[in-house]
């Protein structure tokens, strides 16, 4: 054995197995981020792999400084050139990943390896910002495992065994689960400390607060879920499944916009009265997918919505100050009939139209209004027009552009999607002086019996009109006239019958029964995941805590945590064999041991019989001793005899009494 | 000031350890002997967990809360796994080698345990020998510790640190082990002049030892010419009658000086005497001559060869340490 100098662990050189395992972990880490990063990152990764390969084959040297510097400069230039120039999460992640890849050029010592693994843990957390569905969580478990394996390889002093490492890592991960759950349940959910804008993660989906021609049809091509609703109690009838998203009341000739936009949430009015419920009330919970927007969805018409950072806007919308970058759950109450509070001045604004454009349509509308005589008659007249003329409902309408786009639709092609009908109708109502606005949202959904909720996908996107007549907003849906089945059916069901070619492949595939069932199962799983995990509200856990231990206080929480940890430690100690369990001796050896303890042990070579005789001589008053020993002897040497437990206990009791008398005599 | 304070703390700590973990022939590590704390690496993992928690708070990411606590709990869980590596481990003193002073004696310990379990890599650490790694994978292991022999006598390992950072390096568990395993160091050979001593008071004999004649007469080797100083008894009288001065010569190994005696080095210190004996022993072995050794407390009968030499050396090493 040679005398060796003590090298602190952090400075030890990594073994080949460690470098290889690190490389594998890095590969998985990199792989999950590929969809979110520019493609040329693959080149960086290939270069890193090449360098590692060199290291494995004997080039145990740090890369030259010029190489590292030029890689860093090239990487930063590449990131900026790829459009990640703004201060945002994606940019930060891109830099982080670049560092993660380039760091591997100089991983030679344990310290570097550990750094790499820890960065991997952190990046796993970052990955959860992009994906938080059950599959993402599974991937996370896998990523943590591979990083733990790498950590074990790095710290294994050159004795890396995959089986052993797998076992240890699994034990570590499973053993850590109870504390993880406790922390997850009880750690208070704090508000964000600072704000980092993000692009990819915050990519906006769902109804936006403006509606261009064609935007709803575009949305209707998507199979993504938008939100899920579960009713506490009765569900409204199917034809009432109008899910309100946005109210758009500003029109510029082409695009409808919301009056209160996402750009300046601080200008939103506060403390607005919502309509008061007059019809049947529906109490429900919505779980909204991340949309990157501020609008929340609810059944028409909302009368109540919970949440502190949620605002009710005067145009019957609810919005959150911060964008919805996560799955959110909220409770709301709606009613099918409401009485509207007098909104002074608002209705006047809902008459505004551009000065010019669609002149022929304005004239056409005014003419019909004169004929109709009343507001309601005019609305009816418009619907009849749609019903009687050859209007056609399609997902792929021609593009109507320019100042006279509405006219081109209504008086020209007459092929359009819900947004075209709604837009044209609202325009004509305004043209004749009836306040009206467009509501963007969703119509329909799929009831999932397994989870007792209604799933609404993006493809259920819809737009309709609200009209102010008799001091009340009324819903008017022109789609119900042009395609009456749309109210009862989802879009894919509707088009599957008549125009399947207009649907996306995914939607068509989803119509197959088996696939449909599987999709529903998966959706249910997602729903449960969202309810139980993502949108977990720790008030509930604190509720349990309070009911069990009284008022919540940090001291109590710490004590509870410590006692949980203590209990778990004990359990793990037993499980891992750290705490030996004392073996209970079987009868009759236990009794024999006890006698030997009380009366002194047997001498060397002394048989049980001799022992009994000796004790009988020494302790004549202890009558029970003889029979007791006799029974023990019999039991040990005669396998035929069964132990008479009752007798044994009786003899012991007698002996105890005799001993007591003995000691009292003394 | 701080340095002095630290020194005092250090000293108190050493004393405490000395009292708490006394020297033993075999040591089983248990909760009263194992110390355990997170390593720097483990603390950095905590920092990473806090960063992940920040992610969770700032991006309202529910799963990151779970990940953050998972990482923290892993550190806690690693305490059990690392503790498990040392717990129940028995170190048993086995043997030590015999070396010359100044050389390195190899002391052997057996690491075993009643429960068969993989314990990963343990390290025996001391500034004297650095770190010795032992891979304890599902079976017993023998660890050899090199300890330089600085003086004649027993070579004992200093109190050393046995530590485990397995399996993830997050936690370090260690114990200080002072184990009663001994190697021996025999003195470095130093040449001294031997002085004749007469055995058992036969003063009139001029030869060093008279029993040579009784025994050695059997192994008559031949005749050689007389040299001044040859004992008169060995004269070959028949040859003398032919005017040849011959002496009966006996084989070399039957030389009279076969016993190296403690008393042959009067006036020297104990260690010098032992060093001198070592020198003569070495010489004898080099020349292939048999020899015996007489020490005040022991007498090693005549013999030859390496084994004999080792026995003698062992005796020299142990002299005064019985």
**What are the DSSP calls for A158-190, one per residue?**
T---HHHHHHHHHHHHHHHHHHHHHHHHHS--P
* DSSP-derived secondary structure for A81-127: HTT--SSSHHHHHHHHHHHHHHHGGG--BHHHHHHHHHHHHHHHHHH
pLDDT digits (tens, 9 = 90+) for A158-199: 888 899 999 999 999 999 998 898 888 888 887 777 766 554
Arithmetic mean of pLDDT, A437-446 = 87
Residue tagged 């008086």 (tokens)? A411
> Quick check: A250 pLDDT over 90?
no
**Type and span of the H or E element at A245:** strand A242-251
Distances (CA, A) of A2 to A74, A164, A496, B28, B157: 47, 29, 80, 27, 16
The C-alpha atoms of residue B6 and residue B11 are separated, in whole angstroms, by 8
- Report the residue from A173, A533, A572 with minimal CB separation from B80: A572
Query: What's the gap in Å between the CA of A119 and the closest CA on chain B?
Result: 8
CA distance B50 to chain A (A): 10
What ipTM score was computed for the predicted complex, to two decimals? 0.78
Say how far apart CA A246 and CA A317 lie, in whole Å.
6
For residues A531 and A40, the model is more confident at: A40
Q: Place A416 in a pLDDT band, splitting at 50, 70 and 90.
A: confident
Alpha-carbon distance of B245 to B313, in angstroms, equals 42
Find the mean pLDDT for residues A76-88. 80
pLDDT at A88 over 80: no
Look-up of token digits 């406790």? A182
pLDDT at A50 over 50: yes
| Contact list, A114 vs chain B (CB under 8 Å) | 41, 44, 169
Kindly report the CATH class assigned to B24-39+82-186.
mainly beta
Whole-number mean pLDDT of chain B?
83
* Residue pLDDT, tens place only, A460-488: 888 899 888 887 888 888 888 877 777 77
Contact B70 A177 (CB under 8 A): yes
Q: Helices then strands (H, E): number in chain B?
A: 7, 17
- What local confidence, expressed as pLDDT, does residue A450 receive? 79
Cα distances (Å, whole numbers) of residue A596 to A373, A582, A617: 115, 20, 16
The widest CA-to-CA distance across chain B, in whole angstroms, is 124
Return the DSSP state at B24.
B
- Which of A179, A326, A578 lies nearest to residue B60, judging by beta carbons? A326
Of B78, B81, B146, the CB nearest to A3: B146
Rounded to the nearest angstrom, the minimum Cα separation between B184 and chain A is 18
A595-641 pLDDT, tens digit each: 888 887 787 778 888 888 888 888 887 888 888 888 888 887 877 77
Q: List, for residues B175-227, the tens digit of each pLDDT value.
A: 998 898 889 999 998 888 887 664 444 444 444 444 444 334 445 667 777 77
Q: Which helix (H) or strand (E) holds A258?
A: strand A256-258
Residue A172: its chain B contacts at CB < 8 A? 74, 77-78, 81, 167-168
pLDDT surpasses 80 at A222 = no
Q: How confident is the model at residue A4 (pLDDT cuts 50, 70, 90)?
A: low
Determine contact, residues B275/B265, Cβ cutoff 8 Å.
Answer: no
Chain B nearest C-alpha distance from A534 (Å): 5
pLDDT at A341: 65
Active-site hit among A477, A492, A523, A635:
A477
Which of A100, A123, A125 to probe the B interface (max B CBs under 10 A)? A125
What burial letters (b/e) apply to A393-421, b meaning 16+ CB within 10 Å? bbbebeebeeebbbbbbbeeebbbbbbbb
Interface test with B, best of A176, A290, A535, A583 (most B CBs within 10 A): A176
Q: Are A399 and A197 spatial neighbours (Cβ–Cβ below 8 Å)?
A: no
Listed residue (A139, A164, A142) closest to A153, CA to CA? A164
Tokens representing residue B110 in the block = 């057996």
Both structure tokens of A307: 């949440």
Among A136, A155, A162, A577, pick the best mutation site for testing chain B contact (most B Cβ within 10 A): A155
At residue B197, the pLDDT reads 61
Q: Is the CB of A154 less than 8 angstroms away from the CB of B169?
A: yes
What is the pLDDT, as a whole number, of residue A343? 58
Edge-first strand listing for the sheet containing B141-148? B26-28, B89-96, B104-113, B141-148
- The pLDDT > 70 percentage for chain A reads 90
Give strand pairing partners of B147.
B105
**Is residue A497 over pLDDT 80?**
no
| Every domain of chain B and the residues it spans | 24-39+82-186, 211-318
Contact yes or no for A125 and B66 at CB 8 A: no
Can you give the C-alpha Rg of chain A in angstroms? 38
Cα–Cα distance for residue pair B31/B176, rounded to 1 Å: 13
Best probe of the A interface among B67, B87, B133, by most A CBs < 10 A, is B67
Active-site pick, A462, A523, A622, A635: A462
Indicate the SS3 state at residue A17: helix
**Bigger pLDDT: B206 or A509?**
A509
Instruction: Look up A462 and say whether it is catalytic.
Output: yes
Per-residue pLDDT, B253: 44
Q: Which residue spans within A415-497 are E strands per DSSP? A: 415-416, 436-443, 446-448, 453-457, 461-469, 472-476
Q: Is the pLDDT of residue A505 over 80?
A: no
Q: What is the pLDDT of residues A362-388, one digit of tens each?
A: 888 888 888 888 888 888 888 888 888
Reported residue count of chain B is: 322
Give pLDDT, residue A173: 94
Q: Is A635 a catalytic residue?
A: no
Shortest CA gap A254–chain B (Å): 36
How far away is chain B from the Cα of A43, in angstroms, using its nearest Cα?
28
**Chain A residues closer than 8 Å to B63 by CB:** 128, 132, 136-137, 140, 533-534
The pLDDT value recorded for residue B78 is 93
Low-confidence ranges of chain B (pLDDT < 50): 198-218, 252-255
Catalytic residue list contains A650? no
What are the structure tokens assigned to A363, written together? 């004239």
The length of chain A in residues reads 666
- Which one of A161, A172, A184 has the shortest CB-CB distance to B65? A184
Q: How confident is residue A205, by pLDDT bands cut at 50, 70 and 90?
A: low
Q: Please indicate whether residue A76 or residue A507 has the higher confidence score (pLDDT).
A: A76
CB neighbour list of residue B16: distance below 8 Å, 6 or more residues apart = none
Mean pLDDT is lowest, of A230-234, A320-324, A507-511, for A507-511
Q: What's the whole-number average pLDDT of chain A?
A: 82
Which of B68, B73, B168 is facing A152, going by the closest CB pair?
Answer: B168
Task: Exactly one of A209, A418, A420, A622 is catalytic; name it.
Answer: A418
Of A157, A194, A577, the CB nearest to B121: A157
Q: Which residues of B touch A132 (CB under 8 A)?
A: 61-63
Residue of B nearest to A10 (CA): B41
- How does residue A1 score in pLDDT terms, banded at 50, 70 and 90? very low
Q: With an 8 Å Cβ cutoff, are A125 and B65 in contact?
A: no
Q: Which of B57, B62, B115 has the CB atom closest to A192's CB atom?
A: B57
3-state secondary structure of B162: strand
- Could A159 and B72 be called an inter-chain contact, meaning their C-beta atoms sit closer than 8 Å? no
Decide if B263 contacts B278 (C-beta within 8 A): no
Residues of B in contact with A3 (CB under 8 A): 104, 129-130, 146
In chain A, where the domains are located: 9-160, 210-527, 545-574, 589-665
**Strand A415-416 and strand A392-393: pairing?**
parallel
The pLDDT score that the predictor gives to residue B15 is: 84
How many Cβ atoms are within 10 Å of B39's Cβ, its own excluded? 20
> Inter-chain contact A184–B66, Cβ cutoff 8 Å?
yes
Closest residue of chain A to B49, computed from CA coordinates: A122
pLDDT at res. B220: 63
What's the confidence (pLDDT) of residue A508? 67
């Amino acid at each position: 054995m040679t005398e060796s100098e003590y090298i602190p662990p952090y400075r030890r050189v990594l073994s080949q197995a460690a470098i290889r395992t690190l490389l594998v972990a890095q590969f998985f880490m990199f792989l999950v981020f590929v969809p979110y990063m520019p493609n040329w990152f693959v080149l960086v990764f290939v270069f890193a792999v090449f360098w590692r390969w060199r290291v494995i084959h004997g080039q145990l040297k740090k890369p030259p400084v010029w190489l590292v510097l030029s890689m860093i400069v090239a990487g930063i230039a590449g990131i900026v050139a790829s459009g990640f120039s703004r201060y945002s999460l994606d940019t930060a992640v891109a830099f982080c990943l670049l560092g993660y890849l380039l760091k591997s050029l100089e991983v030679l010592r344990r310290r570097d390896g550990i750094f790499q693994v820890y960065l991997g843990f952190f990046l796993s957390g970052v990955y959860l910002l992009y994906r938080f569905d059950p599959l993402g969580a599974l991937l996370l478990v896998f990523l943590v495992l591979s990083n733990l394996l790498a950590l074990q390889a790095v710290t294994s002093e050159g004795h890396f065994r995959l089986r052993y490492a797998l076992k240890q890592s699994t034990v570590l991960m499973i053993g850590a689960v109870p504390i993880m759950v406790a922390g997850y349940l009880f750690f208070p959910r704090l508000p964000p400390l600072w704000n980092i804008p993000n692009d990819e993660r915050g990519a906006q989906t769902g109804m936006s607060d403006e509606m261009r021609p064609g935007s709803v049809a575009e949305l209707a091509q998507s199979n993504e879920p938008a939100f899920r609703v579960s009713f506490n109690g009765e569900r409204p009838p199917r034809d009432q499944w109008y899910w309100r998203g946005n109210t758009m009341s500003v029109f510029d000739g082409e695009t409808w916009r919301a009056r209160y936009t996402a750009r300046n949430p601080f200008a939103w009015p506060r403390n607005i009265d919502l309509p008061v419920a007059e019809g049947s009330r529906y109490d429900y919970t919505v779980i909204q997918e991340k949309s990157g927007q501020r609008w929340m969805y609810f059944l028409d018409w909302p009368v109540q919505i919970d949440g502190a950072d949620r605002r009710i806007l005067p145009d019957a919308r609810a919005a959150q100050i911060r964008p919805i970058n996560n799955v959110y759950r909220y409770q709301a109450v709606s009613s099918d009939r409401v009485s509207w509070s007098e909104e002074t001045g608002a209705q006047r604004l809902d008459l505004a139209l551009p000065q010019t454009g669609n002149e022929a349509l304005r004239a056409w509308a005014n003419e019909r209004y004169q004929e109709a005589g009343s507001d309601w008659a005019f609305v009816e007249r418009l619907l009849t027009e749609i019903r009687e003329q050859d209007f056609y409902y399609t997902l792929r309408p021609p593009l109507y552009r320019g100042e006279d786009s509405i006219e081109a639709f209504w008086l020209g092609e007459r092929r359009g999607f819900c947004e075209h009908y709604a837009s044209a109708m609202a325009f004509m109502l305004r043209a004749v002086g009836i306040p009206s606005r467009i509501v963007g949202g969703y119509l329909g959904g799929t009831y999932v019996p397994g989870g007792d909720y209604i799933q609404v996908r993006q493809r259920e996107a819809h737009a309709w009109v609200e009209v102010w007549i008799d001091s009340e907003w009324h819903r008017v849906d022109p789609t119900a006239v042009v395609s009456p089945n749309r109210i009862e059916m989802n879009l894919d069901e509707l088009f599957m019958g008549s125009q399947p070619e207009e649907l996306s492949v995914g939607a068509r595939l989803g119509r197959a029964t088996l696939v449909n069932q599987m999709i529903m199962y998966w959706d249910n799983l997602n729903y449960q995941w969202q309810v139980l995990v993502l949108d977990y509200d720790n008030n509930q856990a604190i509720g349990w805590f309070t009911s069990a231990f009284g008022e919540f206080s940090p001291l109590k929480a710490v004590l509870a945590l410590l006692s949980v940890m203590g209990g778990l430690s004990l359990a793990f100690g037993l499980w891992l064999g750290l705490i030996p369990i004392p073996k209970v001796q079987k009868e009759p050896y236990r009794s024999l041991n006890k006698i030997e303890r009380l009366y002194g042990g047997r001498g060397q070579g002394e048989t049980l019989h001799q022992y009994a005789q000796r004790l009988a001589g020494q302790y004549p008053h202890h009558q029970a001793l003889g029979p007791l020993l006799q029974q023990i002897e019999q039991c040990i040497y005669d396998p035929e005899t069964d132990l008479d437990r009752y007798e044994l206990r009786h003899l012991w009791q007698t002996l105890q009494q005799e001993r007591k008398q003995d000691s009292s005599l003394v | 000031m701080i340095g002095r304070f630290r020194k005092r703390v250090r000293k108190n700590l050493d004393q405490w350890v000395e009292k708490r973990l006394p020297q033993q022939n075999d040591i089983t590590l248990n909760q009263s002997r194992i110390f355990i704390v997170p390593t720097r690496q483990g603390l950095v993992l905590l920092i990473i967990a806090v960063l992940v928690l920040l992610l969770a708070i700032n991006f309202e990411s529910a799963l990151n809360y779970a990940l953050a606590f998972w990482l923290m709990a892993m550190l806690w869980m690693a305490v059990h796994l690392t503790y498990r590596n040392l717990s129940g481990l028995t170190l048993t003193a086995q043997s030590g080698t015999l070396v010359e002073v100044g050389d390195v004696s190899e002391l052997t310990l057996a690491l075993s345990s009643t429960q068969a379990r993989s314990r990963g890599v343990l390290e025996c650490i001391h500034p004297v020998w650095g770190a010795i790694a032992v891979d304890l994978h599902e079976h017993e292991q023998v660890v050899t510790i090199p300890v330089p022999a600085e003086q004649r006598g027993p070579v004992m390992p200093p109190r050393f640190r046995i530590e485990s950072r397995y399996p993830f390096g997050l936690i370090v568990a260690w114990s200080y082990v002072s184990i009663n395993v001994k190697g021996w160091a025999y003195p470095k050979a130093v040449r001294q002049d031997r002085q004749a001593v007469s055995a058992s008071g036969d003063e009139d004999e001029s030869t060093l030892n008279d029993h040579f004649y009784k025994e050695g007469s059997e192994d008559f080797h031949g005749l050689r010419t007389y040299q001044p100083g040859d004992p008169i008894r060995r004269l070959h009288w028949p040859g003398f009658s032919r005017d040849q001065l011959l002496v009966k010569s006996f084989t070399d190994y039957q030389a009279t000086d076969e016993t190296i005696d403690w008393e042959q080095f009067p006036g020297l210190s104990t260690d010098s005497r032992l060093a001198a004996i070592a020198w003569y022993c070495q010489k004898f072995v080099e020349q292939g001559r048999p020899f015996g050794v007489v020490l005040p407390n022991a007498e090693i009968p005549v013999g030859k060869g390496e084994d004999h030499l080792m026995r003698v050396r062992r005796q020299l090493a142990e002299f005064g340490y019985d």
